[in-house]
Amino acid sequence: MARVTRVAPMPEPIALPLVGAPPPERRDAARNRELLLDAATALIERSGPRGVTMDAVAQAAGVGKGTVFRRFESREGLMAAVLNHSEAEWQLQVMSGPPPLGPGADPWDRLLAFGRTRLETTLLHAELIREAGRTGARAAGAYSFTVTHVRYLLTELGVRGDLPILATALLAPLELPILDQQVNLDGFPVDRVHEGWVDLARRIVGR
């Protein structure tokens, strides 16, 4: 897989250590993280998140079990890592993809596109989010990203009030537990839930 004819090898980019940054990962550690993430993703694809054990992931990655826990803290942590990876693309679409989801469109249209896709994404990754528990859905990355984005859109729309709180309120009905209840237990069609959310957005934004 490596190129055979390498005439003038590119100098490796040197990672200048940022002051205050945590020390970089050792090479074996990094390699194992990759191996584990891949193994976990594959196993999850095959048997669903619930059917995957930590032992299985360790074995599939050709690594000891202790290593899995060292890298990911817990089962939830591992699931959260996989989840993050799955949602990275969506986040990219929001930040720099084509409108109306990405930048360039009217903020209201962006908000609607955001809500629609967020709802779909959450439902799509439902099992994984469930397995990732607290660590996942509202962990550092994913959650604060959505709040920040919605807060920004609300600002653009000229909404007055406590925006961090309002943004959270607008996002809350899109969280898995609520959607789960409405769609899977109450049996509401997804479209109806979505229309309800748009109505909510209208009332909050004041249109």
Partner DNA sequence: GGACGAAACGGACTGCGGTCCGCTTTCTAT
Partner DNA sequence: ATAGAAAGCGGACCGCAGTCCGTTTCGTCC
The residues binding a copy of itself (CB under 8 A) are 130, 134, 137-138, 143, 161-162, 164-166, 168-169, 172-173, 175, 177-178, 180-182, 185-186, 188, 192-193, 195-197, 199-200, 203-204, 206
Give the chain's radius of gyration (CA, Å).
Answer: 21
Report which secondary-structure segment, H or E, holds 95: helix 75-96
Does 104 bind DNA (CB under 7 A)? Our answer is no
Q: CB under 5 to 8 A by kind: which of a copy of itself, DNA, none does 191 bind?
A: none
Does 54 bind DNA (CB under 7 A)? Our answer is yes
Q: CB under 5 to 8 A by kind: which of a copy of itself, DNA, none does 75 bind?
A: DNA
Does 29 bind DNA (CB under 7 A)? Our answer is yes
Smaller CB distance to a copy of itself: residue 88 or 169? 169
Distance in Å, CB of 167 to a copy of itself, minimum: 10
Q: How many residues in the shown chain lie near DNA by CB under 7 A?
A: 24
Q: Quick one: which of 88, 85, 1, 92 has its CA closest to 36? A: 85
Distance in Å, CB of 90 to DNA, minimum: 26
Rounded CA gap, 154 and 94, in Å? 15
Smaller CB distance to DNA: residue 64 or 98? 64
Residue 111 phi/psi, 5° resolution?
-65, -45
Tokens of 135: 């660590």
Does 45 bind DNA (CB under 7 A)? Our answer is no
Q: CB under 5 to 8 A by kind: which of a copy of itself, DNA, none does 32 bind?
A: DNA
CB 146 within 8 A of CB 139: no
Distance in Å, CB of 150 to DNA, minimum: 31
Does 99 bind DNA (CB under 7 A)? Our answer is no
Helix then strand then coil, in percent of the chain rounded to 5, is: 70, 0, 30
Does 60 bind DNA (CB under 7 A)? Our answer is no
CA 119 to chain centre: 13
Does 26 bind DNA (CB under 7 A)? Our answer is yes
CB 98 within 8 A of CB 154: no
What is the DSSP code string of 109-157?
HHHHHHHHHHHHHHHHTHHHHHHHHHHHHTSHHHHHHHHHHHHHHHHHT
Q: Quick one: which of 29, 156, 57 has its CA closest to 105? A: 156
Residues that bind DNA (CB under 7 A): 23, 25-29, 31-32, 52-55, 62-67, 69-71, 74-76
